[in-house]
Amino acid sequence: MTALRKPAPAFERTVLAVPSIHCAGCMSKIERGLGVMPGIASARVNLSARTVTVEHDLSLEAHDLVHALAELGYEAQARRDELAPRLSAARPLLAPLAVAGFAAMNVMLLSVSVWSGAEGSTRDMFHWISAGIGVPAIAFAGRPFFKSAWQAVRRGRTNMDVPISLGVLIATGLSLYETGRHGEHAWFDGALMLLTFLLVGRVLDAMMRDRARAGVDALLSQAAQGAMVVGADGTLAWVDAIKLVPGTVMRVAAGERLAADGEIVSGASRFDQSLLTGESAPVPLHTGDQALAGTLNLDAPIDVRVSHAGHDTTLAEIARLMEASTQNRSRYVRIADRAARLYAPAVHSLAALTVVGWLLSGATLYQALVTGVAVLIITCPCALGLAVPVAQVVASGSLMRAGIMVKDGSALERLATVDRALLDKTGTLTQGKPLPDSAALLALATDEAAIALALASHSSHPLSRALAAALARRNIAAAPLSDVAERAGEGVFARWHGHEVSLSRPLGGGEAIAAALTIEGRPVRLIPFSDRLRPDAVSALAQLRQLGVECSILSGDRPGAVGEIALATGLTAQANARPADKQALVARLRASGRKVLVVGDGLNDGPALAAADASMAPGSASDVGLQAADLVFVQESLIALPRAVRAARRTTAVVQQNFALAIGYNVLAVPLAIAGLVTPLVAAVAMSASSLIVVANSLRLARAAK
Amino acid sequence: MTILLLLIPAALAIGGLGLAAFFWALRNGQFEDPEGNAARILIEDDE
């Protein structure tokens, strides 16, 4: 670095996703660690979003920052949508909520004075002040409801917002009229209270979606976002995935994912294509073969000439398949809106009948209209509007504590109805990564295990990492080694107390994945690796069966590998299914009236996940899987599946109870309103009481995920 | 009752002040990172 600072260096802002930040210690470590780096003006951690925003000069690239964070011990990825602010569903509702709450409290205070007997000019003054606060507040805070109601009405439909908007607007209009003619009753307090309660429901609902999305965002971007490109003069430079063009040559190290489709121009290696095809066995590829974006290079560094990049990759093809299937999900009508379809016409005709009835019995037009409006206000679906969101928010909060993220409320409604489950094999029923055979590890002598751990810890090869992790869990200390060398495509070689030791590819190893531990003067130890069933998979499937959900396996893997898992789990299975086959099977089952849950993780599951009634993905899933799934579970155990189904069903039960409570309240209050006995005081008490009851009932879901 | 002429505007003004403060906070990114702000009090500044 030069001693003289450049005049006014141009700064750039980069946002990096760092999923593993979780405490104040991480925050200060990252902010201090990056802060002292040359070229960085400032670094600020956002713990809620698990991101770091770095202001740096143009000499640094996102790739350098990722490296710097890796040195600090944090895995990071540059965000693709770097500068686009993340859209929050809750933030636009906060201001209306604040205004509605403020206005409701002030107007309620004035109303209390009116109810306790203020008369004449005092009452008029209070009413005018209420109007002065209430009308602008209603106009501002009611906009989310008015907008959505108007959109529904314009398309000739109705939703929960239509009776809400009508009730609020008519109450406001009538109150203004009453205030003008020195009347006794004004309803500003009721209208504002209604808006406040409903906005609380909406904000809770939006916060739930925000939190789940933030959680899923943090898991995203596991695939390579760029590649080391070999220049014409042999220099290496990092290029972002979106800037890769066909014809460039990228160097892919062992353990990296390919950023684009391409032809191998030099080197040979084995590839894990499970994300794309579901196939678990590594595929050996040589010079001249096609390698696909998103696949994991297992053995040796290779050079690949890019043939398709960005939107032309196989990956993008799957994305197109998915787009088509997401449409039938958007056709799903949420419970609250289905209720509104029945509720709104019933309430509105009731109000109309009240007006006609009063007119026929000889009342004045004014009296009849006031009574009709009272019916509309009292039936305004305050409790109904809270019934669904509060229940879903409480349930998904409970699920989130159990490690299951629910992306939105309608997912819970749809999940509650499923009676058929299709499960992917690799990465869903199994853990999706090769793990060393525990019997083989137990057979190792202590010093052998210590050597194996020491050798494995010197390599970033996926098998070495898995082996090192497994041995470290057995509390084995690494043996001291000298002259350690990793030879790409072969293994790790070193000396131990003068003996040559190595951890390498077994000679003549075919399909099976294994590592050979060689210690001079001793027999070679073979450590087989295999993909293992998730813990509790069998009991989780049994629980699903008890819940009336019929399960079967749907995999893109070879029949042999699928058969093994089918035998272990006792499920029927279909192998060799391509993404389009999976999607077609989902469509067939749905057409025959089944409600289908798809659980999968790979890109190849994306279209099926999107087409299903409800879908779940493990946290280790591909970006596509995470985005397409309704629910994401982050723990190892498959118990998450029955747990989520049970919680969803309990939520639906509570929602139905809430509806029953809300309707019960109406059955009590509506006759009073029709009889013309409802005053603003009665309305305020009835509304708060019914809302509180519904909220209290929903809180019972706090332990729904247990 | 004339005291009301003083008290009501005073009450509204104080309430309005709170509302204005909330809007200010909303605009200035005070709600960007609630979890982080909670954790930041644990970071020691001296070093």
Chain segment B8-32, per-residue pLDDT in tens:
888 889 888 988 998 898 888 887 7
Mean pLDDT for chain A overall: 82
Tell me the C-alpha to C-alpha distance, in Å, between residue A443 and each of A437, A448, A522.
Answer: 10, 10, 14
- pLDDT for res A225: 63
Candidates A18, A22, A45, A47: best to mutate against B (most CBs of B within 10 A) is A47
Confirm whether A511 is domain-assigned.
Answer: yes
Residue A4's pLDDT band (cuts 50, 70, 90): very low
Which of A310-324, A361-375, A430-444 bottoms out in mean pLDDT, i.e. has the lowest?
Answer: A310-324
Q: Which residue of B has its CA nearest to A132?
A: B12
Q: Which two tokens stand for residue A605?
A: 């599951």
Out of A24, A46, A102, name the one closest to residue B19 (CB).
A102
- pLDDT for res A18: 81
| Integer Cα distance of A259 and A252 in angstroms | 9
Q: What percent of chain A has pLDDT over 70?
A: 90
Q: Which residues pair with A306 in a beta bridge?
A: A262
CB < 8 Å to A129, chain B: 8, 12
Confirm whether A331 is domain-assigned.
Answer: no
DSSP single-letter state for residue A428? I
Residue A184's pLDDT band (cuts 50, 70, 90): confident
DSSP per-residue letters across A489-553? TTEEEEEETTEEEEEEPPTT--SSEEEEEEETTSPPEEEEEEEEEPTTHHHHHHHHHHTT-EEEE
- pLDDT for res A2: 42
Residues A417 and A496 in one domain: no
Long-range own/partner contacts, residues A129-133 (CB < 8 A, 24 or more apart): A129/B8, A129/B12, A130/A175, A130/A179, A130/A186, A130/A188, A130/A189, A131/A175, A131/A176, A131/A179, A131/A186, A131/A188, A133/A103, A133/A106, A133/A107, A133/A188, A133/B12
Closest of A343, A384, A379, A340 to residue A667, by C-alpha: A379
Which of A79-83, A540-544, B39-43 bottoms out in mean pLDDT, i.e. has the lowest?
Answer: A79-83
Q: Which segment, A373-387, A433-447, A609-623, is predicted with the most confidence on average?
A: A609-623
Residue A497 in this model has a pLDDT that exceeds 70: yes
A279-303 pLDDT tens trace: 666 778 888 888 887 787 877 788 8
Distance from CA of A95 to the nearest CA of B (A): 7
Residues A186 and A68 in one domain: no
Residue A596's pLDDT band (cuts 50, 70, 90): very high
CB-based contact A48 B18, cutoff 8 Å: no
A296-328 pLDDT tens trace: 787 778 888 888 776 666 666 666 666 666 655
- pLDDT for res A317: 67
Residue A597 in this model has a pLDDT that exceeds 90: yes
Candidates B1, B24, B33, B42: best to mutate against A (most CBs of A within 10 A) is B33
Question: Chain B residues with CB-CB distance to A under 8 A?
Answer: 1, 4, 8, 11-12, 15-16, 18-19, 22-23, 26, 31-36, 39-44, 47
Confirm whether A396 is domain-assigned.
Answer: no
- pLDDT for res A81: 52
- pLDDT for res A223: 43
Residue A238, domain extent: 224-321
Given CA atoms A606, A610, A612, A613 in this order, what sign does their dihedral have?
positive
Closest of A443, A436, A485 to residue A464, by C-alpha: A436
Candidates A28, A116, A125, A207: best to mutate against B (most CBs of B within 10 A) is A28
What are the E-state strand segments in A147-233?
A: 226-230
Out of B4, B15, B26, name the one closest to residue A102 (CB).
B15
Residues A268 and A366 in one domain: no
- pLDDT for res A220: 58
- pLDDT for res A589: 92
Stronger pLDDT, B5 or A99, i.e. the higher one: A99
The residues, any chain, with a CB within 8 Å of residue A459's CB and separated by 6 or more, are: A465, A486, A491, A492, A503
**CATH code for position A300:** 2.70.150.10
Residue A3's pLDDT band (cuts 50, 70, 90): very low
Residue A272 in this model has a pLDDT that exceeds 80: no
Residues A51 and A35 in one domain: yes
Q: What percent of chain A has pLDDT over 90?
A: 13
Residue A128's pLDDT band (cuts 50, 70, 90): very high
Stronger pLDDT, A65 or A77, i.e. the higher one: A65
The residues, any chain, with a CB within 8 Å of residue A58's CB and separated by 6 or more, are: A9, A10, A12
Residue at which a domain ends, from A42, A66, A86: A86
The residues, any chain, with a CB within 8 Å of residue A273's CB and separated by 6 or more, are: A279, A282, A283, A292, A295
Long-range own/partner contacts, residues A515-520 (CB < 8 A, 24 or more apart): A515/A436, A515/A463, A515/A464, A515/A467, A515/A491, A516/A491, A517/A444, A517/A448, A517/A451, A517/A452, A517/A455, A519/A448, A519/A451
Residues A104 and A207 in one domain: yes
Amino acid at A607: P
Given CA atoms A415, A416, A419, A421 in this order, what sign does their dihedral have?
positive
Question: Rounded mean pLDDT of A561-589?
Answer: 86
CB < 8 Å to A25, chain B: 42
Amino acid at A157: R
Residues A455 and A601 in one domain: no
| Integer Cα distance of A168 and A138 in angstroms | 8
Confirm whether A568 is domain-assigned.
Answer: yes
Question: Rounded mean pLDDT of A564-593?
Answer: 87
DSSP single-letter state for residue A20? T
Stronger pLDDT, A488 or A29, i.e. the higher one: A29
CB < 8 Å to B47, chain A: 32
CB-based contact B19 A98, cutoff 8 Å: yes
Question: Rounded mean pLDDT of A569-594?
Answer: 87
Number of neighbours of residue A98 by Cβ within 10 angstroms: 19
Which of A14-18, A37-41, A182-186, A236-240 bottoms out in mean pLDDT, i.e. has the lowest?
Answer: A236-240
DSSP single-letter state for residue A12? E
| Integer Cα distance of A248 and A265 in angstroms | 11
Tell me the CB-side half-sphere exposure of residue A310, using CA atoms within 13 A: 9
Tell me the C-alpha to C-alpha distance, in Å, between residue A424 and each of A99, A487, B12, B13.
Answer: 49, 35, 61, 61
Q: Which residues of A are catalytic?
A: 424
CB < 8 Å to B6, chain A: none
Q: What are phi and psi of B27, to 5 degrees?
A: -75, -25
Residue A479's pLDDT band (cuts 50, 70, 90): confident
Residue A242 in this model has a pLDDT that exceeds 80: no
Q: What is the three-class DSSP state of A596? A: strand
| Integer Cα distance of A300 and A699 in angstroms | 55
Confirm whether A328 is domain-assigned.
Answer: no
| Integer Cα distance of A495 and A571 in angstroms | 48
Question: Rounded mean pLDDT of A52-66?
Answer: 83
Query: Using an 8 Å Cβ cutoff, are A378 and A678 in contact?
Result: yes
Residue at which a domain ends, from A287, A321, A355: A321
Residues A122 and A205 in one domain: yes
| Integer Cα distance of A171 and A192 in angstroms | 10
Q: With DSSP H G I counted as helix, E B as strand and the rest as coil, what are the percentages for chain B, rounded to 5?
A: 70, 0, 30
Q: How many domains does chain A have?
A: 5
CB-based contact B26 A106, cutoff 8 Å: no
**CATH code for position A438:** 3.40.1110.10
A620-670 pLDDT tens trace: 777 777 778 888 888 888 899 999 999 999 999 999 998 888 888 888 888
Residues A580 and A613 in one domain: yes
Helix (H) or strand (E) holding A16: strand A11-17
Strand-by-strand arrangement of the A550-554 sheet: A404-406, A631-633, A614-618, A596-599, A420-423, A550-554, A572-574
- pLDDT for res A313: 67
Residue A254's pLDDT band (cuts 50, 70, 90): confident
| Integer Cα distance of B44 and B47 in angstroms | 8
- Model confidence pTM above 0.90: no
Residue B1's pLDDT band (cuts 50, 70, 90): low
The angle subtended at Cα A51 by Cα A38 and Cα A253, nearest 5°, is: 70
Residues A204 and A99 in one domain: yes
Q: Which residue of B has its CA nearest to A95?
A: B23
Confirm whether A23 is domain-assigned.
Answer: yes
Residue A84's pLDDT band (cuts 50, 70, 90): very low
**CATH code for position A591:** 3.40.50.1000
| Integer Cα distance of A295 and A311 in angstroms | 16
Stronger pLDDT, A6 or A622, i.e. the higher one: A622
Looking only at the bridges linking them, the beta strands covering A302-308 and A249-252 are: antiparallel
Residues A73 and A161 in one domain: no
Residue at which a domain ends, from A259, A293, A321: A321
Looking only at the bridges linking them, the beta strands covering A572-574 and A550-554 are: parallel
**End-to-end Cα separation, chain A, in angstroms:** 57
Closest of A114, A115, A105 to residue A141, by C-alpha: A105
Q: Which two tokens stand for residue B34?
A: 């609630």
CB-based contact B33 A28, cutoff 8 Å: no
Residues A171 and A49 in one domain: no
Residues A643 and A656 in one domain: no
